């Protein structure tokens, strides 16, 4: 799938783009079932809320052939290549649960600030693609964005905390204050990202975004796939964040056909050394 000129212009102007009806109900069911199983696995990649509920599961593609296939689908990879004007690799991949009542907030932030300060990513030549696996409404903690805020550049913030764990929790490491938020909203407004299960959001790594807690009785599942340009790879640094948070495998993503997602249904979980079957992959 390729974006048309109007969609590309909207993305570059607003910093985000919503694509509806990108995944069928069957595909959503497959992904949702697989995500539930993954989140029951006790591993370092699984991050918990203070309540004990699952907040995030990182690097699902290392353990699930279904989620590995998702990150290779041409309907996601091709728009990323278009926007970044280069081949792309998988910088970060996570599943966010936003648990019912226990799902805590994500404070206002720019992803690139973390990727630059923590991982030394050189330039904001990266984007997130979010696949929503449930309906998103005003009650279940929708993602909030500030249109055009990516055009402000990276707003540098300091933190007294040295732990990488604080880059993952509700109490984020780098915080904006009321003054910065007011400045961002002088010529913009907060937009709530809502839609039916199977819709997709693309957004710039410098776009300010946040979300409140989930006040509904159902968990809200979503997959966040962060692609970076192969021309913007990370340098070697002392004490990097774990590989499951910030990948140093800069291999360009090979796109695969949409049928692959269903073909992985009976494949089961992966060992970390496994990959998608070669016959499934190929430049589209």
The segments of the chain whose pLDDT lies below 50 read: 266, 268-273, 276-284
Query: Domain coordinates of the chain in residue numbers?
Result: 16-271
DSSP 185-247: TTT---EEE-B-TT-EEEEETTS-EEE----SSS---EEEEEEEETTSPPPP-SSPPPTTTS-
pLDDT confidence of residue 162? 58
Could you tell me if 109 and 172 are in contact, meaning their C-beta atoms sit under 8 angstroms apart? yes
Question: What radius of gyration do the chain's Cα atoms show?
Answer: 18
pLDDT digits (tens, 9 = 90+) for 257-269: 887 887 775 454 4
pTM of the model: 0.90
pLDDT confidence of residue 36? 95
Report the distance separating Cα 98 and Cα 55, nearest Å: 6
Rounded-to-10 torsion of CA 108, 114, 115, 116: 120
pLDDT confidence of residue 178? 93
State the helix-helix crossing angle for 74-84 and 65-72, rounded to 10 degrees.
40
What's the CATH number for 16-271? 2.60.120.620
Report the distance separating Cα 102 and Cα 234, nearest Å: 34
Burial call 131-168: b when 16+ CB within 10 Å, e when fewer: bbbbebeeebbbbbbbbbbbebebbebeeeeeebeebb
């Amino acid at each position: 799938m390729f974006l048309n000129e109007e969609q590309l212009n909207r993305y570059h102007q607003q910093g985000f783009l919503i694509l509806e009806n990108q995944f069928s109900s069957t595909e959503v069911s497959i992904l949702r079932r697989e995500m539930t199983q993954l989140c029951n696995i006790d591993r370092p990649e699984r991050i918990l809320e203070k309540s004990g509920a699952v907040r995030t599961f990182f690097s699902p593609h290392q353990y699930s052939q279904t989620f590995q296939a998702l990150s290779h689908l041409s309907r996601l990879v091709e728009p990323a290549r278009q926007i970044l004007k280069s081949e792309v690799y998988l910088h970060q991949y996570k599943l966010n649960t936003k648990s019912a009542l226990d799902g805590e907030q994500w404070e206002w932030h720019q992803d690139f600030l973390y990727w630059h300060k923590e991982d030394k990513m050189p330039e904001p030549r990266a984007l997130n693609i979010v696949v929503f696996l449930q309906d998103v409404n005003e009650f279940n903690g929708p993602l909030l964005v500030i249109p055009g805020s990516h055009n402000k550049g990276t707003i540098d913030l300091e933190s007294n905390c040295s732990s990488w764990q604080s880059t993952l929790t509700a109490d984020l490491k780098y915080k904006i204050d009321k003054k910065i938020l007011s400045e961002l909203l002088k010529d913009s407004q907060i937009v709530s990202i809502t839609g039916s299960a199977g819709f997709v959001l693309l957004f710039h790594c410098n776009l300010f975004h946040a979300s409140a807690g989930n006040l509904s009785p159902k968990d809200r599942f979503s997959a966040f796939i962060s692609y970076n340009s192969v021309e913007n790879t990370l340098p070697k640094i002392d004490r990097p964040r774990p590989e499951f948070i910030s990948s140093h495998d800069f291999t360009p993503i090979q796109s695969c056909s949409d049928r692959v997602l269903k073909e992985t249904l009976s494949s089961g979980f992966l060992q970390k050394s496994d990959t998608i079957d070669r016959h499934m992959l190929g430049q589209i």
